[in-house]
């Protein structure tokens, strides 16, 4: 096969990382055989059957990709500084011209060319972007309108009138960058950890070393008032730890041996010895920062709508200006229409709202992975919940104990604990935990055997005055298979529980009821969901129908599906999506497919699996289910503000355009009205950043109540 090749020259140099990303993007085209990317040149080898139109599409893709890469390379802080500088220069230029006009009118008139050049220099960014939109994208944009207004003001002999427009336009852009920067720097600031040294524990002694020297597997000490700089697990010690940077919890979490700790947490009281599991960019905090920064680039559908609407309204402004000039021949009125632009308010306020919402959520321990999910949260009308670990705590506990006549509770429990001593089954762990809580000691068994899907069987010697024997712990079916028939009477009225039957030799000596308790505040959370517009709440579980029915009834859940496989969960989610917007809440590996298929997948709690967190659109690190309400409130409140901004922008600018066309206002006032409206809607979006308990979320809680 013959191959063709071509070159594309880049206007700006790319660094190594940008070149690698661009090459990877080009290689996705199946007609591309090979590609090399230099700093300013792209060389492509392609199959001969490629048409000129396909090559043109590749060129267009190159331009768009390079533009996105270069935009991403500019940080919000750099943009903020640039817009602040331009706004100050514009205001200073306007003030200087006004002073000159009032103090020396003749000199003011004589410096017309100099004033015009100064204004064009200040507006160079808008002129470049405006021309680029027409030449490269074949479509005028907001900067095209601004550039036309500036040039028209210069031609009309009033260049200073456009300085107000430039100052206020830069001010609005500055506020948008401020929202993005505040969201980023708040989280990124935590990543720096503000602590350069750590106590490394070696041979029982502590040594102060730079944070960079700590590696996975090391043991460190954290004392009162110090910030934990790694992810790890407590080896020894007790402490109250403020981990609000990860979970958003306001109250300190108590940490003991085997408790997980996270970088960015602060030891408020106590001391901990910690085994290092993750350092630097591998920590949970670093992962959060990375995802928050990526989320800023994921546009919500409403942002795309705002962009399209803004692009549509720019030509409308030009057409309006042309009609006014044709009817009146009045350049003042033409400038009025050119100075008034719908697109700034629509695009800037929407982008600011999304950035502010993502930042505000992250500060509360709620990680939203994109603006598109903010909008989906606002539209959520169906909530699907996994049972184990989501509706429930996820840690089985003994709910009740029933013993045969003549058998003590301690006797029966210790025999069961001895038989289950080496089992890691959650029900066995619940028994062992109960024994620890009672400060009892389980007797050692002589031998034990696991009967798959049935239970445990062990030979336990006599202990503490209690009789030993062949102990069987398991299901009713397991005992019946071994000739132990008297299991009915003891289980009367206990049909909806997870039951473990305990037998000694051929005699049933007790029944242990184990249940996974409902997560605290979960029922209150579900009730609040209904008040926030959720029409249907569904539970999905692999548990038995009897257990599922009891949980659904106690929680007033609309419907449930029990004894289902992980792939079945995604099937049910897809069915529910056909009639509404679905939020799926889960925490485990078996929830990952359903989380990925839902409109908004939410992983809840500190015990969530990595795959659940990766598959979800929203990650909540707190165990508090009320964070689900905060998440829904976030989406609804953000979209309320976006809609308010849309209405205000269209109403104010339409009124200003009418007044401008009628000659009732000057170009200066047209610029002031338009840009003041833009600043107002951007500031309205920034209100989301006021997300403390007495602010954004609290107002919504009061409204729900």
Enzyme catalytic residues: 386
Phi, psi of 144 (to 5 degrees): -60, -40
Q: How many helices (H) and strands (E) does the chain have?
A: 25, 23
623, 519 in Cβ contact below 8 A?
A: yes
Residue 247 has which token pair? 């979970």
* CA dist., res. 577 & res. 380, Å (int): 10
Scanning the structure block, which residue is given the tokens 């100099």?
114
Sequence-distant (≥ 6) Cβ neighbours of residue 638 within 8 angstroms = 353, 354, 356, 357, 374, 378, 688
Residue 268 has which token pair? 């408020």
DSSP H helices in 207-300? 244-247, 284-295
Quickly count: other Cβ atoms within 10 Å of residue 659's Cβ.
Answer: 16
Residue 99 burial (10 A CB sphere; 0-12, 13-18, 19+): exposed
Quickly count: other Cβ atoms within 10 Å of residue 569's Cβ.
Answer: 26
* CA dist., res. 331 & res. 405, Å (int): 103
Scanning the structure block, which residue is given the tokens 């670990």?
389
Three-state secondary-structure class, residue 408: coil
Reported as half-sphere exposure (CB side, CA atoms, 13 A), residue 267 has a value of: 23
Distance of CA 173 to the CA centre of its chain: 24
* CA dist., res. 274 & res. 262, Å (int): 10
Closest CA to 584 of 268, 515, 572, 328: 572
208, 186 in Cβ contact below 8 A?
A: no
Binning the chain into helix, strand and coil, the percentages to the nearest 5 are 55, 20, 25
Three-state secondary-structure class, residue 47: strand
Scanning the structure block, which residue is given the tokens 């405006």?
130
* CA dist., res. 543 & res. 589, Å (int): 15
Sequence-distant (≥ 6) Cβ neighbours of residue 51 within 8 angstroms = none
Q: Which DSSP letter does residue 404 get? A: -
- Helix or strand holding residue 238 (H, E): strand 231-242
Sequence-distant (≥ 6) Cβ neighbours of residue 39 within 8 angstroms = 10, 13, 14, 19
* CA dist., res. 493 & res. 402, Å (int): 12
Distance of CA 36 to the CA centre of its chain: 36
Q: Which DSSP letter does residue 354 get? A: H
Q: Which DSSP letter does residue 617 get? A: S
* CA dist., res. 207 & res. 212, Å (int): 14
Residue 114 burial (10 A CB sphere; 0-12, 13-18, 19+): exposed
Beta strand pairing call for 582-586 and 600-604: parallel
617, 369 in Cβ contact below 8 A?
A: yes
State the sign of the Cα–Cα–Cα–Cα dihedral 513, 516, 522, 526: negative
């Amino acid at each position: 096969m013959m191959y063709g090749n071509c070159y594309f020259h880049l206007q700006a140099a790319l660094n190594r990382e940008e070149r690698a990303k661009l090459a990877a993007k080009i290689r996705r085209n199946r007609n591309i055989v090979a590609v090399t990317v230099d700093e300013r040149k792209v060389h492509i080898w392609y199959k001969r059957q490629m048409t000129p139109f396909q090559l043109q599409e590749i060129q267009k893709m190159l331009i768009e990709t390079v533009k996105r890469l270069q935009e991403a390379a500019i940080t919000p802080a750099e943009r903020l500084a640039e817009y602040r500088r331009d706004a100050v220069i514009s205001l200073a230029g306007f003030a200087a011209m006004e002073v000159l006009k009032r103090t020396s009118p003749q000199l003011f008139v004589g410096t017309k060319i100099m004033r015009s050049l100064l204004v064009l220099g200040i507006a160079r960014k808008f002129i470049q972007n405006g021309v680029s939109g027409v030449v490269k994208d074949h479509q005028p944009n907001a900067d095209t309108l601004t550039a036309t207004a500036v040039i028209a003001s210069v031609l009309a002999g009033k260049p200073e009138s456009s300085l107000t427009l430039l100052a206020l336009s830069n001010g609005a852009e500055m506020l948008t960058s401020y929202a993005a920067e505040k969201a980023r720097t708040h989280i990124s600031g935590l990543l720096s950890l503000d602590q350069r040294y750590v106590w490394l524990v070696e041979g029982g002694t502590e040594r102060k070393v730079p944070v960079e020297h700590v590696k996975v597997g090391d043991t460190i000490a954290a004392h009162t008032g110090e910030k934990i700089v790694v992810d790890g697990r407590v080896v020894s010690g007790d402490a109250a730890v403020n981990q609000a940077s990860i979970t958003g919890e306001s109250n300190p979490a108590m940490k003991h041996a085997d408790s997980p700790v996270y970088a960015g947490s602060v030891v408020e009281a106590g001391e901990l010895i910690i085994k290092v599991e993750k350092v630097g960019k591998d920590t949970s905090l670093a992962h959060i920062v990375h995802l928050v920064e990526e989320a800023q680039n994921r546009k919500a559908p409403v942002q795309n709508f705002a962009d399209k609407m803004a692009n549509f309204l720019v030509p409308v402004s030009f057409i309006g200006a042309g009609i006014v000039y044709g009817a009146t021949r009045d350049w003042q009125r033409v400038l009025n229409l050119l100075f008034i632009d719908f697109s700034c308010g629509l695009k800037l306020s929407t982008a600011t709202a999304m950035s502010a919402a993502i930042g505000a959520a992250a500060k509360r321990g709620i990680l939203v992975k994109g603006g598109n999910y903010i909008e989906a949260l606002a539209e959520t009308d169906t909530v699907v919940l996994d049972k184990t670990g989501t509706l429930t705590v996820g840690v089985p506990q003994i709910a009740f104990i029933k013993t045969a006549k003549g058998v003590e509770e301690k006797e029966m429990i210790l025999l069961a604990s001895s038989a289950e001593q080496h089992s890691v089954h959650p029900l066995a762990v619940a028994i062992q935990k109960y024994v620890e809580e009672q400060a009892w000691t389980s007797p050692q068994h002589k031998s034990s055997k696991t009967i798959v899907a049935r239970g445990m069987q062990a030979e336990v010697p006599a202990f503490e005055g209690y009789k030993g024997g062949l102990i069987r712990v398991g299901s009713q079916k397991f005992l019946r298979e071994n000739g132990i028939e008297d299991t009915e009477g003891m289980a009367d009225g206990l049909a909806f529980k997870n039951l473990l039957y305990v037998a000694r030799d051929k005699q049933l000596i007790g029944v242990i009821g184990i249940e996974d308790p409902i997560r605290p505040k979960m029922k209150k959370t579900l009730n609040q969901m209904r008040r926030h517009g959720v029409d249907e709440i569904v539970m999905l579980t692999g548990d038995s129908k009897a257990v599922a029915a009891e949980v659904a009834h106690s929680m007033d859940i609309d419907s449930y599906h029990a004894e289902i496989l992980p792939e079945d969960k995604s099937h049910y989610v897809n069915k529910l999506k056909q009639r509404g917007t679905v939020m799926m809440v889960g925490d485990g590996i078996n929830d990952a497919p359903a989380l990925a298929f839902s409109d908004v997948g939410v992983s809840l709690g500190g015990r969530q699996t990595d795959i659940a967190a990766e598959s979800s659109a929203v990650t909540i690190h707190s165990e508090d289910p009320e964070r689900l309400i905060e998440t829904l409130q976030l989406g609804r409140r953000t979209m309320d503000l976006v809609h308010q901004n849309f209405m205000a922008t269209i109403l104010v600018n339409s009124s200003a355009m009418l007044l401008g066309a009628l000659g009732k206002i000057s170009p200066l006032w047209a610029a002031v009205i338009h840009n003041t409206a833009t600043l107002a809607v951007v500031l309205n979006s920034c209100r989301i950043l006021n997300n403390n308990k007495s602010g954004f979320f609290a107002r919504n809680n009061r409204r729900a109540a």
